[in-house]
């Protein structure tokens, strides 16, 4: 782990552990290889922390 990558995670810019990336029916999801948080792909080379809504759960209303 480098300081640079830790800063990236701090700004919600994560990088997936490639072996653990899976398609959940809506998006590619995985875990950040630096901080270990659940993340979701928002575009090419663009990964953000996964939220409850984006994980496929229905809205509360
Ligand atoms: Zn991270």
pLDDT digits (tens, 9 = 90+) for 1-33: 556 667 889 889 999 998 999 999 989 999 999
How far away, in angstroms, is 5 Cα from ligand 1 center?
A: 8
Q: In the predicted model, what is the mean pLDDT of residues 34-57?
A: 82
The whole-angstrom separation of Cα 14 and Cα 38 is 10
* Three-state secondary-structure class, residue 5: helix
Helix or strand run (H / E) with residue 8: helix 3-10
60, part of any domain: no
pLDDT over 60 (residue 56): no
Q: For the chain, what is the domain count?
A: 1
26, part of any domain: yes
How far away, in angstroms, is 31 Cα from ligand 1 center?
A: 8
Domain hosting 43: range is 3-52
61, part of any domain: no
Q: In the predicted model, what is the mean pLDDT of residues 32-53?
A: 89
How far away, in angstroms, is 60 Cα from ligand 1 center?
A: 28
């Amino acid at each position: 782990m480098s300081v640079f990558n830790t800063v990236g995670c701090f700004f919600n810019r994560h990088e997936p552990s490639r072996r653990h990336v899976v398609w959940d029916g809506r998006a590619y999801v995985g875990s950040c290889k630096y901080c270990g948080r659940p993340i979701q792909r928002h575009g090419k080379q663009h990964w953000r922390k996964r939220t409850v809504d984006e994980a496929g759960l229905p809205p509360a209303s």
